[in-house]
Structure formats: structure tokens, C-alpha cells
Structure 1
Amino acid sequence: MIDSRAIIHPSAQLDRDVEVGPFTVIGPDVEIGAGTKIHSHAVIKGPTRIGKNNTIFQFASVGEDCQDKKYAGEPTRLEIGDNNVIREGCTIHRGTVQDQSLTKIGSNNLLMAYVHVAHDCMVGDNCIFANNTAIAGHVTVGDGVILGGLTTVHQFCQIGAYSMSAAHSAIFKDVPAFIMVSGNPAEAHGMNFEGMRRRGWSDEVIRSLRQAYKVIYRQGLKTSQAVEVLQGMAAETRQVQLLVESLQSSTRGITR
């Protein structure tokens, strides 16, 4: 299962059915779970923990030192969950002591070719980052997010669950849950209602989210005022509550 031309540090811990292709380098303090397949020419540095049934394609760089000039070699970490696909040329950096010393990626994500996930990012589950997407340091990405190709995200931004960006978007402010954005700088353009239907969400839930969007973006309200208006709806609909929580947690202001 491990090609003889791979270089694996003796202290690395690989489950017995992990596959490793030729010319891949796996450093010390790396743990890789069962069923994971690593193609040729990948580089994995520790401290890094990779879960089960992941696929890492050629020329990916996983767990490398971050590009923050304050980084001075501290032992920071990267954690990756299960069932992720990390395509060729992706770069994923460990955290910094200025944050939680941790970069974390959940499960069931697809990172297409040449995606960059910087230090201290927190990525949820079931996300898709299309080719050449780049998220800067300290970015938080919720579950079910889709970022179109060549999307860039400014450091410290929060990308709410089930939101979506069009290709070539430049995101400088927080994106609330469910919101679709596009442009440079990115602007809000509705919600992904078709995606909601495909997930099997009820017409009632979709109507509630449609009304919530109008409250936030069509009534000229400040974010705090919109939250007050939406509190009653949030008590009745879990998805609206998730939207309200993303508004309340915003620190950079929301994409308008």
C-alpha cells in the first residue's frame, strides 16, 4: 500500500491500509486514518491529524508552516476530518499561536485544484471550494458553503453556513448564512433557493428565509435592527435562527 519510493518519517503514524504514492514525503508527528489515499508527490508535515477515507492528490502541500511573518516555528497544528477530497496543488497551512494554534477542516469537503487554506482557518463540513479559491488567515467557513472558482476571502471574515459565492468574487466582509454573493468587492444577490429545494427543505422554510432576506437587505435596516425584527421568526424556524446567529457573530460587517 506504500510505494517504496515514498519517504515517511519513522514517527509518522499511518493506519495499515493507508495508500501512499511514489515520491510523497510524510514528516514527523503526522497521523493518517484508515482508508486514506495519498497520491504521488504530496508533502504532509506535522503536527497534522488526518482522519479516515480522505483522498489527497499529487503535489498537494498539507500541514506546512504558515505564511504569517509573526510565525517563529511554534508547534501549531492542522486537523482534517473524514471523507475529504483534496485535489492537486492544494496548500493547507497550520495555525499560529496568535489564534488557537490550529487550522481545522471538517468532513466531506471537496477542495478542488490549487485551493489555498491559510493559517487558523476553520472550515465546516460538506463544503465545496472550486479551483483556485483562496481563503486568508483566521477565516471561518460554515457547513455547506460553496465558493466559486478564483474566489478570495479576506482574513478574519466569517462565511455563513450554506452561503455561496460566484466565480471571481472578492469577499472583504462577513457573508451571512444562506446568502449568495458575487463581484469585487462582493455584493449580496439573494439566496440559493434552488439549493434549498434540492436539500428537501419545505416551502414554509424557504418562504421564511425569503422574508428574512427582505428584512436584512430591502428595508434599509442596520444589522442590529434586522436582528431584532427577525427574532420572532428565528424562534419558529431553525434555519432563520442560523441566519440570525451569523448576523450576531459578524465582526467585520456583513456583505451588502
Structure 2
Amino acid sequence: MSIHPTAIVEDGAQLHPSVSVGPYSIIESGAIIGADCRIESCARIYGNTRMGGHNRVCHGVTLGSEPQDLTFTPEKAMPLVIGDHNQFKEGVNISCGVKSEGGTRIGSHNYWMAFSHAGHDCVVGDHNIFANTATLAGHVEVAHHCFVSGQVAVHQFCRIGAYAMIAGVTGVPRDVPPFALADGHRARMLGLNVVGLRRNGFSQAQRSRIKAVYRLLFKSGLPREEALAAAQRDHPGAETDEILAFVRASQRGLISFG
């Protein structure tokens, strides 16, 4: 274990022997840090943080900090649980949980650019990218393989479906469905995240199926349930199933199209 002499590792913190801790960082009692994690300078890992292996925590990161919730009191704190192979670049802030038993949960292989933020009780999957100052309010759910661009603000309780891309300086007030490309002062769906789908190996047939389903949902003029039934009947496939499940589970409604 390599711990800089200016770092503070409180009694009760559990660090794997392979962990390194840089200058002036603080790891509180109760924190659990897995194998081969790198905690760089001036980071603070709060005591309710549970981190897997091979994570990089850069300068000035705060993980498991007190949530920005006026009802919060310390006895309400729930954990921040982090998977493996994540990178948290300079100034990233992720809050602990407060209102859900599972707390705030971050999966694996996510890349958080400088000053991005996830609020309390967010649930983030795997292989997502959050560009500089991307902001998730409390209780936001992000699936996997999403790209959230710089200065995006996602409203609390919204969901971002798998393989979606949100353009920079976009406010997201409702759910962004899977595979979508969203943009606008208030996010609108402009089409498919074609570049992301190609990069992740989606075939032309799969992309055409997704496009046909969204054309039915947004352009056919059919009532929602009739459009969902037509999509299931006319365009069966895994991508269709994912879209329909996402739509049916939506509580805030979907962003508009066009």
C-alpha cells in the first residue's frame, strides 16, 4: 500500500493492500476501497462509500458526500456503491444516498469528466460517459453505453435509456428513450444515436428496426397502446422489446420528437 505522508486515512477505513493514496487526500472511517484503486491528490472519500477495484479517483474528487437535500440529516445517509474500472476526473462530485435503501449506485467502466455530478439515489449502469459539468439530479437512472455531453442537466427522477446520446447544454425534463439522440434547451429527440449504435456493433437491420419502432410511436398518430402493439407485432426483436419496456415503465413521460 502506498499512502502519501500528508494523506489522512482514518481508523476503520478498509483499503486493499494494492491501493495508492496521494497527497492531502482524506479517506474516512467506514469507507471500503478495492484492489488497485488510485486515489490521487486532494480527494475525499466519505465513510459511506463502497468502491470496487481498479478505479481512478483524480484530484479534488468527492465521493459519498452529503446530498444536496434540505431534508437530509446524517442518520438518513445511505451508501454510495461503486463498481470497477471507473474513472472520476478532476472535481467530480457524487452524493451518497438518502431516500432509497440501495443508496446511490454507480456501475463499472464509467468515465466521469471534470466537474460532472450525480445526486443522491442515482442509479448508473456500465460503460457510460459523462462530459464536463454534466449533472444528474437526485434519483436519475442511466442505463448503459450512454453519452451525456457537457453542461447537460437531467431533472430528478428522469431515466436515460441504453445507447442514448444527449447533446451539450441540454436540459432533460423527461425520460430519454433507448438509442435516441436528444438535443435542445428542453431536450427533444432528433433521431437515433447512429454513431453510437454503429460503434457498438448494431447492424443496419437492427438500426432500421429501431427507427421503424420510433416512427410508429412518434409519427403514426396512433394512440400509444395501439402504437406499442403495432411495434411488437410488425417489428419483433430485442431492440423493440427494450424500447417498449422503457416506454411502459415511464413515470415522467418521454421527451418530444422533432
Give the structure-1-normalised TM-score: 0.96
The answer on whether the counterparts of 1:104 and 1:122 sit within 8 Å (CA) in structure 2 is yes
Q: 1:42-57 residue pairs with structure 2 within 5 A?
A: 42-57=43-58
* Whole-angstrom CA distance in 2 between matches of 1:149 and 1:217: 27
Name the counterpart of 1:161: 162
Name the counterpart of 1:187: 188
- Of the three residues 83, 105, 109, the one matched with 2:85 is 83
Q: CA deviation at 1:156?
A: 0.5
* Whole-angstrom CA distance in 2 between matches of 1:36 and 1:22: 15
The more displaced of 41-50 and 192-201 is: 192-201
The answer on whether the counterparts of 1:162 and 1:177 sit within 8 Å (CA) in structure 2 is yes
Q: Aligned with 1:49: secondary structure? A: strand
Name the counterpart of 1:24: 25
Name the counterpart of 1:105: 106
The answer on whether the counterparts of 1:227 and 1:248 sit within 8 Å (CA) in structure 2 is no
Name the counterpart of 1:207: 208
The answer on whether the counterparts of 2:77 and 2:96 sit within 8 Å (CA) in structure 1 is no
Name the counterpart of 1:170: 171
Q: CA deviation at 1:222?
A: 4.3
Indicate the percent of aligned positions where both proteins have the same amino acid.
36
Gaps of 5+ in 2: none
Q: Aligned with 2:240: secondary structure? A: helix
* Whole-angstrom CA distance in 2 between matches of 1:161 and 1:225: 24
In the superposition, relative to structure 1, how do residues 198 and 19 fare at CA in structure 2: closer, same or farther (>3 Å)?
same
Q: CA deviation at 1:18?
A: 0.5
Q: CA deviation at 1:239?
A: 1.5
The more displaced of 132-141 and 203-212 is: 203-212
* Whole-angstrom CA distance in 1 between matches of 2:64 and 2:103: 10
* Whole-angstrom CA distance in 1 between matches of 2:221 and 2:25: 54
In the superposition, relative to structure 1, how do residues 43 and 229 fare at CA in structure 2: closer, same or farther (>3 Å)?
same
* Whole-angstrom CA distance in 1 between matches of 2:81 and 2:73: 20
Q: Aligned with 2:246: secondary structure? A: helix
The answer on whether the counterparts of 1:233 and 1:240 sit within 8 Å (CA) in structure 2 is no
Amino acid in structure 2 at the alignment position of 1:198: R
Q: 1:142-161 residue pairs with structure 2 within 5 A?
A: 142-161=143-162
Gaps of 5+ in 1: none
Q: CA deviation at 1:255?
A: 0.4
Q: 1:136-147 residue pairs with structure 2 within 5 A?
A: 136-147=137-148
Q: CA deviation at 1:229?
A: 1.9
Q: CA deviation at 1:110?
A: 0.3
Count of matched residue positions in the alignment of Structure 1 and Structure 2: 254
Q: Aligned with 2:3: secondary structure? A: coil
* Whole-angstrom CA distance in 2 between matches of 1:195 and 1:26: 37
Q: CA deviation at 1:226?
A: 2.7
Name the counterpart of 1:241: 241
Q: CA deviation at 1:132?
A: 0.4
The answer on whether the counterparts of 2:43 and 2:61 sit within 8 Å (CA) in structure 1 is yes
Deviations 1:18-40 (A, max 9, x none): 01100000001100110110110
Q: 1:56-135 residue pairs with structure 2 within 5 A?
A: 56-73=57-74, 74-96=76-98, 98-135=99-136
In the superposition, relative to structure 1, how do residues 196 and 61 fare at CA in structure 2: closer, same or farther (>3 Å)?
same
In the superposition, relative to structure 1, how do residues 64 and 232 fare at CA in structure 2: closer, same or farther (>3 Å)?
same
Amino acid in structure 2 at the alignment position of 1:40: S
Amino acid in structure 2 at the alignment position of 1:237: G
Q: Aligned with 1:69: secondary structure? A: coil
Q: Aligned with 1:132: secondary structure? A: coil
